[in-house]
Amino acid sequence: MSYIKAADVLPKEIIDLIQKYIDGEYVYIPRKESNRKAWGENTKGKEMILFRNMEIYEKYTEGMPVGHLSETYYLSPKSIQKIIAKFKLENQ
């Protein structure tokens, strides 16, 4: 996240009003709900995790044990089991 100077984007009256409440402090102004982006929308993270999880499920159905998948993907056995269970539900 980058910062912008309030003086560059806000009218002096608004800056004066904000200074009345918090003088010289940092303030985070959240996005409007309608402008928010879902996790992974800006990067390929969400897509990459889905691809990884599909790969895990495929290898599991081909006979690879949970313990081996856990070591291969650096995830706990419980995480591997959750991924498998999710794909099993979706494929019923």
Instruction: Please tell me the pTM assigned to this model.
Output: 0.59
Q: How far apart are CA 56 and CA 39, in angstroms?
A: 22
Coil vs helix vs strand at 65: coil
List, for residues 17-27, the tens digit of each pLDDT value. Answer: 999 999 888 88
Q: What is the pLDDT along the chain (92 residues), one digit of tens a residue?
A: 678 889 999 999 999 999 999 988 888 888 888 887 777 777 788 889 999 999 999 999 999 999 999 999 999 999 999 999 999 999 87
CB count in 10 Å sphere of residue 57: 20
